[in-house]
A and B are shown apart, each in its own frame.
Chain A
Amino acid sequence: MTLQTAPSRNASAETTVSVLASVMDVAAAEWLKLRTMRAAWVVWAGAAVSTLIGLIIIMGHVGSYDQATPGQQASFESADPAVAVMPLVAFFIGTLSALVMTTEFSTGSIAPSLVAVPQRRTLLAAKSVVVTCVALAGGVLFASLSQIGAMLILGDRPAPLNPWTHWWEAVPPAAGTAVTTLATGLVALGLGAVLRSAAATVAVIGALTLVVPMFAHVLPEPVHLWVASVLIPNLAPQIAGAESAYLLAPPVAAAVLAFYVVVTLGAASLSFSRRDS
């Protein structure tokens, strides 16, 4: 058997390939990997189902509102999908982002990946590009769907049940939740690179997006507010400048969110580039 020779390459030209072009080529390969990972489609389905369930919960909440007396209606919680839907969506997007890294370790395919791309920071950067695109697109998609669904369910019912007087008032909170979903994805990717285990990473992401925000309520005031204000899901309304009980101004909230991303990706960069694979 003889081998057919691939087109010859100019070695010096190869060495001058820009880092950016290299990252984009590797990102294209990572995108192909994600598309061909069956678990990714399961996670997307999970995010879609959780959106649907969240809207059904809002529907039930609106049904209770309709049967309540005017006095009771005045004290109803707002039917905000940022609370009912998006934390679960962020958890699923975070899980998907973690799998971008942890699947490689669990299957051992990190070895051929690193043989192809031995510059580990380039590989991490390429994975970050893919996660950024996917998490932002997922965040925008599900935030928009849940806001539109909630608007259709709420109709012309007034505040406090309806969080918006006009449709455009829903845009900043939707953008805020899309951004926090993106950050959740990047944090999950970074944790995946450090922990190298899907189970451990998903557990931490579940704690950050669902469990800790829920249990923060049991803390005494004002500790509860301090803690709750810096939790990732609660940063969404603060970044959007929406009315909330939390403490941070939009720029500070954005800085806290960026801190989460920088710390986890920084730890990932150190761990990924220094540890044996």
Chain B
Amino acid sequence: MIEVRELTKRYGPTLALDRLSFQAHPGRVTGFLGPNGAGKSTTLRVIVGLHGPTSGVALVNGRRYAEISRPLYEVGALLDAGAVHPGRTAFKQLACLARSHRIGTSRVKTLLEQVGLQDVAHKRIGGFSLGMRQRLGIAAALLGDPGVVLLDEPVNGLDAEGIHWVRGLMRTLASEGRTVLLSSHLMSEMALTVDHVLIIGRGRLIAESSMEDLAKRFRRDILVRSPMHVELGGVLRAAGMSVSSEPRGGLVVTGSDTATIGDLAAERRIPIHELTQRSATLEDVYLEMTDEAADYRAGGRRSL
């Protein structure tokens, strides 16, 4: 389990994390979502001790990371796939990390096969694509078969097959009872992968929710299409619903649900061609929630 309490990190005048608190529990994939500059990477770097907090505490399984002897057996982290020596081969890169924990080279070979790098295991990393480096980074994170896995933007640079593989891997790791904390700035990616989402902006926690609840909270209206839309509009209004027309001839209804609308139309023998419950897309939700917290955006920096 990962627990972050009142974590604050200041770089000179810049406040990167502002009393951030959250928990990531075993058995589920927790998404750590926020726009660029929100503090996601900083938080992960503080958790694994690369950066010291200005105040607050980050604990992994109840201990500060630096207190863990041979941490690769407890925690695996992919923070920056490019942070490797380009002249070293993939095999040697993993072997160097493995040797510090007395992990054998057979485990290195197995992991390289699992991430699909067995054919380039003895090639220098300098010639690898970003996707290949991501796979290597994921292999490094899994070296010690850890119970806690932190991955910072792991699908960056991956092709469709690779993205599908990472999603499956995250689900597998969580189903095995591991704590998985996955950071991304892509809500669409999170929607397909995570169980629980933490949304941060400007170093603060904006929202925390299950993905399901998040989607429910932003349900909007119902779109109805019918060749008898004038008659149907009258029926629905008579039933107390709010009805408006949309440009392509459909009706936009609020104040009811799809079952009631379907029943009313059936009673009056009005054919229905489409009946859709519309929600804000998760992307919309995310943009709405982080609007105030985005540090950097196209068209110049937002004024405070």
Interface residues of chain A, those whose CB is within 8 Å of chain B, are 1-6, 9, 14-15, 17, 22, 25-26, 28-29, 32-33, 36-39, 103, 107-120, 274, 276-277
Contact = CB atoms under 8 A, between A and B. Distances in A.
B110 interface: yes
Nearest to A35: B92
Contact of A112 (B83, B87, B145): B83
B275 to A, nearest CB: 39
B243 interface: no
Contacts of B75: 115
B72 interface: yes
A32 B95 contact: yes
Nearest to A274: B52
Given A25-B99, A109-B83, A115 B50 contact: yes
16 contacts: A3-B172, A25-B99, A32-B92, A33-B88, A108-B80, A108-B82, A109-B85, A112-B84, A114-B49, A115-B48, A115-B71, A115-B72, A118-B65, A120-B66, A276-B45, A276-B52
B80 A6 contact: no
B102 A33 contact: no
Given A29-B99, A32-B96, A116-B71, A1 B79 contact: no
Contacts of B68: 118
A202 B169 CA distance: 44
Contacts of A38: 87
Nearest to B70: A14
Give the interface size bracket for B toward A. 35 or more
A125 to B, nearest CB: 13
A29 B100 contact: yes
Contact of B145 (A3, A109, A117, A274): A3
A28 B69 contact: no
A108 B84 CA distance: 6
B218 interface: no
Given A6-B144, A14-B70, A33-B96, A107 B85 contact: yes
Interface string B147-178: 00000000000000000010011001100100
B107 interface: yes
B249 interface: no
B87 A37 contact: yes
A107 B83 contact: yes
A261 to B, nearest CB: 25
B169 A276 contact: no
A28 B99 contact: yes
A130 to B, nearest CB: 12
Interface in B196-246: none
Interface string B87-110: 111001001111111110001001
B100 A17 contact: no
Contacts of A276: 45, 50-52
B271 interface: no
A114 B50 contact: yes
Q: Kindly name the residue among A5, A29, A277 whose own CB sees the greatest number of chain B CB atoms within 10 A.
A: A29
Given A1-B168, A116-B72, A119-B66, 20 more contacts: A1-B169, A3-B176, A6-B144, A14-B69, A15-B69, A17-B69, A26-B100, A28-B99, A33-B88, A33-B96, A103-B85, A107-B84, A111-B45, A111-B50, A111-B83, A112-B79, A112-B97, A115-B50, A118-B66, A277-B51
B92 A36 contact: yes
B86 interface: yes
A276 B16 CA distance: 14
Contacts of A111: 45, 50, 79-80, 83
Contacts of A17: 69-70
